[in-house]
Amino acid sequence: MTVQLGLWDSLGEASLHGSGIVVRASRRARHLILQVVPPHTLEVVVPLGTRPREVMAFVAENQAWIEQVRADIGARGRDGGLPARIDLMAIGQSYCVAYRHRPGRRASLKAGRGELEICSAYEDFRETPALLRRWLLDRARRYLKPWLWQEAGRLDLKPRRIQVRLQRTRWGSCSSQGNISLNASLLLVQPPAARYLLVHELCHLRWLSHSKRYWRLVEAAEPDYRRLDRELNAAWTALPDWVLKAMQPPRSRA
């Protein structure tokens, strides 16, 4: 296995030939990190100056995880189609999705108790992904913002601004100005993992980098953060296709 040369020291990008894995350097990375860039790209984020042989050794050590992720991605691709059910696990809500073909009618989504009704003039219901994304964003803004403020109060931290979007490789981010951005897809993960992400971003209000002081603060608020961080990273492979189509160009949270 050889490495295609890239300008890693200047935030360039390279690839491991024959592996389908992209290698990207990051100023903020302190360790080598394997992650999934939806919908199906495996990426290794490396600190500046990392040597190709270190990357290849890291990939070899994690080969079992890589194969499992690829199997999960393949299974999801085979399922495809329109969702029959959507589980917003983070807030304990589930919805069955009903489809109504109404020729001559404008596409619409109607949310009721435990059901989403999608009407379309097209037999293939081609507007479904866009309708579901708008609905997911609306639910996320309704629930994630108050949840973040609640956690902020517990940690005695105060973000300057909160926004909710559909992001590609970030579950969340915090800027140097104290603005926190959350991924609406957090509603699709288990509550402990969603809460950990809120804690993760809030702690950046005090320490912006992933320093030892930062991780001590995170651990004080969430002792099980290591397991939950792995759970969030793996959750990318379970995101449904109708969510992934909405996401912006890739950018790592490393």
pLDDT digits (tens, 9 = 90+) for 107-119: 999 998 899 999 9
**Structure confidence by residue, pLDDT tens digits, 183-192:** 999 999 999 9
> Is residue 91 assigned to a domain?
no
**Which amino acid is it at 13?**
E
Greater confidence (250 vs 194) lies with: 194
Among the listed residues 43, 47, 26, the one whose alpha carbon sits nearest the alpha carbon of residue 35? 43
Task: With respect to residue 133, please indicate whether it lies within any of the assigned structural domains.
Answer: yes
CA atoms of 230 and 196, how far apart (whole Å): 11
Same domain, 213 and 133: yes
Weakest mean pLDDT among 49-53, 150-154, 247-251:
247-251
Whole-number percent of the chain with pLDDT over 90: 46
Please state, in angstroms and rounded to a whole number, the distance separating the CA atoms of residues 61 and 57: 6
Instruction: Tell the residue number behind the tokens 């080969």, with chain if given.
Output: 63
Structure pTM? 0.69
Q: Cα–Cα distance between 237 and 232 in angstroms, integer?
A: 10
Does 203 share its domain with 145?
yes
* Kind and range of the H or E run holding 242: helix 241-244
133 and 239 in a single domain? The answer is yes
Which residues, 6 or more positions from 71, have their beta carbon under 8 angstroms from its beta carbon?
none
Tokens, residue 162: 């909160």
State the Cα–Cα distance between residues 124 and 222, nearest whole angstrom.
45
Q: Which amino acid is residue 166, in one-letter code?
A: L
Helix (H, G, I), strand (E, B) or coil at 164: strand
Containing domain of residue 29, as a range?
A: 8-79
pLDDT-derived band at 217, boundaries 50, 70, 90: very high
In the predicted model, is pLDDT for residue 9 greater than 90?
Answer: no
Domain holding 237: CATH number? 3.30.2010.10
Instruction: Tell whether 26 is covered by a domain.
Output: yes
Split into its structural domains, the chain has a count of: 2
* Number of other CB atoms surrounding residue 156 within 10 Å: 8
Report the alpha-carbon distance of residue 232 to residue 85 in Å, rounded: 21
Q: How is 187-204 classified by DSSP, letter by letter?
A: GGS-HHHHHHHHHHHHHT
Q: What is the pLDDT of residue 2?
A: 30
Tell me if 183 sits within 8 A of 172, measured CB to CB: yes
Alpha-carbon distance 210 to 150, whole Å? 23
Q: What pLDDT, on the 0 to 100 scale, is given for residue 220?
A: 96
